[in-house]
Structure 1
Amino acid sequence: MTISPFAALACPLDGSPLVHGERSWYCENGHNFDVARQGYVHLLPVQKKRSLDPGDSKEMVAARQRFLNAGYYERISDAVNLAVGAVLQGNEPASFLDAGCGEGYYARRLADALGQSRDGTGIGVDISKWAVLAAAKQDKRFSWVVGSNANLPVLPDELDCILCLFGFPVYGEFHRVLKPGGHVLQLDAGPEHLRELREIIYPELKPERPDNDDAPDGFRFVSSENVRYSLPLNSQEAIADLLAMTPHLYRASAEGREKAAALQSLTVTVDAVLRIFEKA
């Protein structure tokens, strides 16, 4: 059983099918997109960028890669893999997208789990070229794409499953590219997520928004589960990587970052909510 690159890509400029040539993807209207030496393709048009270098920086990606590869969020990944296995019926080949794939940790572990029982195709999309570059260097089983959830370079009705893990869901696009009956697995931070770290770097914590299991338009709610555990971080490096891979690094004050940098150990609460929605 194998996971191979997803091929039903769409031109980000006109939506027509892309054809994979020897060193590029191209459409019938003459738009051409080179494949990088590392194997990924850039499908985020300049006119749709909000900055010259959008998404996570090279430093953030490196911090996340070190942290995730150390296994600190393995229990989250395991929960996602079990949930995907539950929603995919039978042993037919499955296609899945990691929307906001980062450096590819969750997609790689899902491919390892699925590859034991079925064939499939996978694609990872992220707006950060540094994240996609890191993902492409680590795994060749996927189509790795620099792109946006707001304009997914995927043809309609092609995917069985979409992962959106600590990301930014765009439900209209998810609905467009999913097959009828396809599923979105959305993971969000729960109210206690990293509370101990947040208490150190912020003068006060903002009130948490209540959980909302309402299904977005075009979907029905299937289920929800909480992944929660205590996570000891026993080195200054692990604490620094955790902070660096989150938006908290830029939201915290200089004083808060100094307090975090002085820590030699810290136990934090991991609190994540995994929701499953089905395309209606």
Structure 2
Amino acid sequence: MSITPFQALACPLDGKPLSWSDSVWRCSDGHSFDIAKQGYVNLLPVQQKRSHDPGDSKAMVAARQRFLNAGYYQPIAEAVSHAVLGHAEVQKADRLPFSCLDAGCGEGYYLRQLADAATNAQPLSLMGLDISKWAVLAAAKQDAKQAPLSSWVVGSNAHLPVQTGTLDSVLCMFGFPVVSEFARVLKTGGVLLQVEAGPNHLRELREIIYPTLKAERVSETVVPDGFIHHGSERVSYSIALNGSEEIADLLAMTPHLYRTSSEGRDRAAALEVLVVTVDVRIVMYMRI
């Protein structure tokens, strides 16, 4: 595995390229952003925040970290890594580093899995971005336990602090896609990979916490402007959660934690065993 520093950052205030020197990122207009001692940089200016502490809370990030590190979503990570690295092999006969942004990286699980799956034959340049400072801090701390694998940035998908036309790949894992921004930062021929919940995803949990389930709407894939459909894959399997803590971690890392009622959360908290379906769709679009 060969990891190179991610260099294509842009100033969140004026969009100009950032350059790194003495643990500071600077643009030509004099805006500067310090690299924190934990190894990340905050590129989310106050005017781009909708709240004082946006994104996932510290408790939600910790729950996701425990759940993912237990390996329950390993098949998803493997499928995503296989898709990204397969595209990298096609695109990078010139041996230049293949750049990949995880937009909404959380605590960095999928980028770490991608780095682990890569071989020395394919140099990578990786960046994880999330609007939650707690998520990025957790990602940077885990990364620091080994040789740093990625660049970690606090930022917004709505205003990606990335130079235009510089990325080979963008991941959006159960996140909030801003397709216009993804199209801007991708090179021609670059790929956007989205992981979306399928109709049966966590169905057994949803049946417990909600009085009734809404009928699933069947819709055709809508290809975003500036892209062509480049392939799809479905990943579906069952997992067995043992103990109320594992079940609580799963609920805490999903939007269902806030969508359900207190009664629904109480029903989930009373469980000691839960067999639940994981059902996701991986869709790849190519920038044209």
Q: TM-score range by the shorter chain?
A: over 0.9
Correspondence for 2:188 among 177, 180, 183: 180
Whole-Å Cα distance in 2 between the matches of residues 116 and 73 of structure 1?
A: 25
Amino acid at match of 1:199: E
2:178 to 153, 170, 174: 170
Tell me how many residue pairs correspond in the alignment: 280
Q: Letter of the aligned partner of 1:238 in structure 2?
A: E
Amino acid at match of 2:192: V
1:203 aligns with 2:207: no
Give 1:59 deviation, angstroms: 0.2
Partner of 1:217: 225
- 115-124 vs 138-147, greater mean Cα deviation: 115-124
Equivalent residue number for residue 109 of structure 2: 105
Flag as ranges the 4+ runs of structure 1 deviating above 4 A: none
Between the aligned partners of 2:226 and 2:19, the Cα distance in structure 1 is 30
**Residue number among 80, 95, 101 corresponding to 2:99 in the alignment:** 95
Map of 1:54 onto structure 2: 54
Cα-to-partner distance string for 1:256-279 (whole Å, 9 max, x where unaligned) = 111100100000010000000000
Q: Show structure 2 runs of 5+ residues with no match.
A: none
Q: Aligned Cα RMSD in Å?
A: 1.1
CA-CA distance at 1:86 after TM superposition:
2.1
Report the Cα distance in structure 2 between the residues aligned to 1:158 and 1:109, rounded to whole angstroms: 23
1:64 aligned residue: 64
TM-score scaled by length of structure 2: 0.95
Q: Distance in 1 between matches of 2:220 and 2:119?
A: 33
Residue 261 of structure 1 is matched in structure 2 by 269
What letter matches 2:247 in structure 1? I
- The yes-or-no answer on 1:138 pairing with 2:138 is no
Deviation of residue 48 (structure 1)?
A: 0.8
Secondary structure of the 2:172 match is strand
Mapped partners of 1:211, 1:60: distance in 2: 31
Written as runs of structure 1 = structure 2, the 5 A alignment for 1:66-85 is 66-85=66-85
TM-score by length of 1: 0.97
Partner Cα distance (1:201, 1:113) in 2: 36
Structure 1: how far apart are the matches of 2:4 and 2:116? Answer: 12
- In structure 1, the gaps of 5 or more residues are none
- 2:83 maps to amino acid: A
Q: Is contact 1:155-1:177 (8 Å) kept?
A: yes
Task: Report sequence identity in percent.
Answer: 63
Contact 1:187 1:272 in 2 (8 A): yes
Matched, 1:124 2:132: no
